[in-house]
Amino acid sequence: MSELVKNEAAQNMVTLTIDDHTMSVPEGTLVVDAARSIGLDIPVFCYHPKMEPVGMCRMCLVEIGTPMRDRTTSEPILEDDGSPKIQFFPNLMTGCTFRASEGMVVRGYTEKVTAARKEVLEFLLTSHPLDCPTCDKGGECPLQNLTMQFGDGESRFIYDEKMHSAKHVALGDLIFLDRERCIQCARCTRFQDEIVDDQVIGFSNRGRALEIVTFSDPGFDSYWSGNTTDICPVGALTTADFRFGARPWEMNASASICNHCAVGCNLTFNTRREVKSGGEKIIKRVMPRQNEAVNEIWICDKGRFAYHFTASDQRLNQPLIRKDGKLVPSSWELALDLVTSRFKNAGENLVTLAGGRLSNEDLFNLAELSAHLGGDALLYSDMAGGDLVSRLGVGEGTNFSDMGPETAILVVACNLEEEAPLWWLRIKQAAERGAKVIVANPRKTKLDRSAIHNLRYEYGQEAGLVTALLSAISPKQPKSPAFVNKLAKDKEVKAAAKALSEAENTVILFGSEGTSYAASAALAQACANLLIASGHIGRPNNGLIGVWDKGNAQGAWDMGLRPSEDLDAALKTSQAVYISAADPAGDSKQYASALKKADFVVVQELYMTATAELADVVLPAQAFTEREGTYTSGERRVQRFYPAVPSLPDLLPDFGITAEIAGRLGLELEKTAPASVMLQIAEVVPDYAELTYQKLAKVEKQFPLIGREDVYYGGTSYQNSQGLGVQLKPAAQNGDSPVLVITELPEVKLSGEELLAVPVTRLLDLGNTVTPSEVLVTRLAKPHVALHPQDAEKLGVEWGSKVKLILNGSTQTVLVEFDNSMPHGVVLVPRSLGIPIISPTPATIKVL
Q: Which residues bind other proteins (CB under 8 A)?
A: 53-59, 61, 91-92, 97, 116, 119-120, 122-124, 126-127, 130, 154-159, 161, 163, 183-184, 198-210, 213-217
- C-alpha separations of 345 from 333, 342, 348, 663 in Å: 18, 5, 9, 16
Shortest distance, position 117 Cβ to ligand FES, whole Å: 11
Choosing among other proteins, ligand FES, none, which partner's interface includes residue 60 (Cβ < 5 to 8 Å by kind)? ligand FES
Please say which residue, 90 or 478, places its beta carbon nearer to other proteins: 90
Please say which residue, 195 or 592, places its beta carbon nearer to other proteins: 195
The alpha carbon of 292 is separated from its chain's Cα centroid by a whole number of angstroms, namely: 13
Shortest distance, position 60 Cβ to ligand FES, whole Å: 3
Strands (E) in 179-251, as ranges, are 201-204, 211-214, 237-239
CA distance 517 to 570: 15
The phi and psi torsions of 626 (rounded to 5 degrees) equal -105, 5
Choosing among ligand FES, other proteins, none, which partner's interface includes residue 338 (Cβ < 5 to 8 Å by kind)? none
Shortest distance, position 452 Cβ to other proteins, whole Å: 15
Please say which residue, 57 or 468, places its beta carbon nearer to ligand FES: 57
The phi and psi torsions of 746 (rounded to 5 degrees) equal -70, 155
Shortest distance, position 38 Cβ to ligand FES, whole Å: 18
Choosing among ligand FES, other proteins, none, which partner's interface includes residue 158 (Cβ < 5 to 8 Å by kind)? other proteins
Choosing among other proteins, ligand FES, none, which partner's interface includes residue 213 (Cβ < 5 to 8 Å by kind)? other proteins
Q: Residue 438 in 3-state DSSP?
A: strand
Please say which residue, 215 or 799, places its beta carbon nearer to other proteins: 215
CA distance 403 to 10: 15
CA distance 102 to 234: 35
Shortest distance, position 73 Cβ to other proteins, whole Å: 24
Choosing among other proteins, ligand FES, none, which partner's interface includes residue 4 (Cβ < 5 to 8 Å by kind)? none
Choosing among other proteins, ligand FES, none, which partner's interface includes residue 474 (Cβ < 5 to 8 Å by kind)? none
CA distance 300 to 626: 22
Please say which residue, 57 or 447, places its beta carbon nearer to ligand FES: 57
Choosing among other proteins, ligand FES, none, which partner's interface includes residue 207 (Cβ < 5 to 8 Å by kind)? other proteins
Choosing among ligand FES, other proteins, none, which partner's interface includes residue 47 (Cβ < 5 to 8 Å by kind)? ligand FES
Contact in structure between 237 and 169 (CB atoms under 8 Å): no
Please say which residue, 6 or 58, places its beta carbon nearer to other proteins: 58
Choosing among other proteins, ligand FES, none, which partner's interface includes residue 44 (Cβ < 5 to 8 Å by kind)? ligand FES
Please name the amino acid found at residue 700.
E
Q: Residue 324 in 3-state DSSP?
A: coil
Please say which residue, 156 or 476, places its beta carbon nearer to other proteins: 156
Q: What is the dihedral of CA 442, 447, 451, 457, to 10 degrees?
A: -10
Choosing among other proteins, ligand FES, none, which partner's interface includes residue 208 (Cβ < 5 to 8 Å by kind)? other proteins
Please say which residue, 149 or 155, places its beta carbon nearer to other proteins: 155
Shortest distance, position 159 Cβ to other proteins, whole Å: 5
CA distance 302 to 297: 15
User: What is residue 4's DSSP assignment?
Assistant: P
The phi and psi torsions of 796 (rounded to 5 degrees) equal 75, 35
The alpha carbon of 452 is separated from its chain's Cα centroid by a whole number of angstroms, namely: 24
- C-alpha separations of 384 from 215, 478, 556, 633 in Å: 41, 23, 12, 16
CA distance 615 to 602: 6
Please say which residue, 55 or 84, places its beta carbon nearer to other proteins: 55
Please say which residue, 52 or 333, places its beta carbon nearer to other proteins: 52
Please say which residue, 36 or 315, places its beta carbon nearer to ligand FES: 36
Please name the amino acid found at residue 493.
V
Shortest distance, position 42 Cβ to ligand FES, whole Å: 8
Choosing among other proteins, ligand FES, none, which partner's interface includes residue 155 (Cβ < 5 to 8 Å by kind)? other proteins
Shortest distance, position 292 Cβ to ligand FES, whole Å: 22
Centre a 10 Å sphere on the Cβ of residue 367 and count the other Cβ atoms it contains.
22
Shortest distance, position 98 Cβ to ligand FES, whole Å: 9
Q: What is the 3-state secondary structure (H, E, C) of 566-579?
A: CHHHHHHHCCEEEE
The phi and psi torsions of 540 (rounded to 5 degrees) equal -55, 150
Strand partners, 93: 62
- C-alpha separations of 352 from 194, 383, 612, 754 in Å: 46, 18, 15, 36
Choosing among ligand FES, other proteins, none, which partner's interface includes residue 335 (Cβ < 5 to 8 Å by kind)? none
Shortest distance, position 766 Cβ to ligand FES, whole Å: 42
Please say which residue, 52 or 683, places its beta carbon nearer to ligand FES: 52
Choosing among other proteins, ligand FES, none, which partner's interface includes residue 204 (Cβ < 5 to 8 Å by kind)? other proteins
Q: Measuring CA to CA, which residue among 772, 762, 766, 764 is closest to residue 607?
A: 772
Shortest distance, position 490 Cβ to other proteins, whole Å: 24
Closest chain position to ligand FES (CB): 96
Contact in structure between 689 and 677 (CB atoms under 8 Å): no
Shortest distance, position 57 Cβ to ligand FES, whole Å: 3
Instruction: Give residues in contact with ligand FES (CB under 6 A).
Output: 44-47, 55-60, 94, 96
What DSSP string runs through 357-411?
TS-HHHHHHHHHHHHHHT-EEEE--S---HHHHHHHBPBTT--GGG--TTEEEEE
- C-alpha separations of 728 from 390, 426, 691 in Å: 9, 20, 9
Shortest distance, position 94 Cβ to other proteins, whole Å: 8
What DSSP string runs through 103-114?
T-EEESSSHHHH
Please say which residue, 114 or 737, places its beta carbon nearer to ligand FES: 114
